[in-house]
A = this chain, B = another copy of it.
């Protein structure tokens, strides 16, 4: 079992230093089981601890409005780096650094990297601390390593589900990307954004593998949802209500474009955009999602209708071509 660093001493110090009386703990799904233990730790400082049970997939989703309404004076947000959302209640970010070492996974990746010289490195916030070790192992094996820094993220080399600028900014300089982390989602994002071969070095399972087939499958899926949306007449334009996911202006632009192309658009707002949520609108043929792209990209088959990104919508209505979008990167802003 891989552990995570919950920085308990740091949290206690922050509570004491700020004289916080009421602390809201917010954790992503994979870490929520630790919440009761952390609440007891907070209570020992004399502050009242409140656990947020709502789904949380990123720092875009920080519970600022909820905290304000509860009289909370400090949010402790776990598992994500700051996303630039400023609320009235101050927040401490605990990135929950994973205890996994990267050596075994990177050594497993070396044979898969044998035909490449220039390697782009990327990871999620949990494994940033082993990125330099990964670089060292690759350099020792004779590789040139580039870690991107677009200036848009909290850290160089960091990717999140809606921002791959740290890899697109160096794509032209590298032959392949090595992603350090678990799961397919972020690595697929890298492949979709850069059209480069992408390899995962998974420090949880100590294994490495290429995701070329999965990337090809995802491309076919994305083209299929675009094709389906091309014949749609009514479009639901989804606006997220989470503080860092609310792109109302972008939605209004999509609405205008839809009208220009003879489509009927409806603005739809939601906090959680789920397959069940969209089942309530049988008369809507397809959706354009301006909130978190992960919602529809991770499991498109769970949605009964096409759910497009704004970029994909531009292809569906013919404002740009699929080839141009691939060149620009599926996640480009």
Contacts and interface: CB of A to CB of B under 8 A. Distances in A.
Contacts of A234: 36
Interface in A43-67: 48-55, 65-66
A4 to B, nearest CB: 15
B278 A53 contact: yes
A14 to B, nearest CB: 19
A250 B246 CA distance: 33
A177 to B, nearest CB: 32
Of A24, A48, A266, A269, most buried by chain B (CB within 10 Å of CB) is A269
A278 B51 CA distance: 12
Of A246, A264, A268, most buried by chain B (CB within 10 Å of CB) is A268
Contacts of A174: none
Contacts of A52: 268-270
A48 B267 contact: yes
A54 B270 CA distance: 5
A30 to B, nearest CB: 9
Contact of A271 (B54, B264, B282): B54
A262 to B, nearest CB: 15
Q: How large is the interface on A (under 10, 10 to 19, 20 to 34, 35 or more residues)?
A: 35 or more
A144 to B, nearest CB: 43
Contacts of A278: 53
Interface string A236-269: 1011010000101000000000000000101111
B53 A273 contact: yes
Contacts of A29: 280
Nearest to A49: B267
Given A33-B282, A33-B283, A65-B65, A267 B51 contact: yes
Interface of A: 24, 29, 32-33, 35-37, 39-40, 48-55, 65-66, 69-70, 234, 236, 238-239, 241, 246, 248, 264, 266-273, 277-278, 280-284
Given A36-B234, A53-B280, 16 more contacts: A29-B280, A33-B281, A35-B281, A36-B283, A36-B284, A49-B267, A51-B269, A51-B281, A53-B268, A53-B270, A53-B277, A54-B270, A55-B277, A65-B65, A66-B241, A70-B248
10 contacts: A24-B269, A29-B280, A35-B266, A51-B269, A53-B280, A53-B281, A54-B270, A55-B277, A65-B65, A70-B246
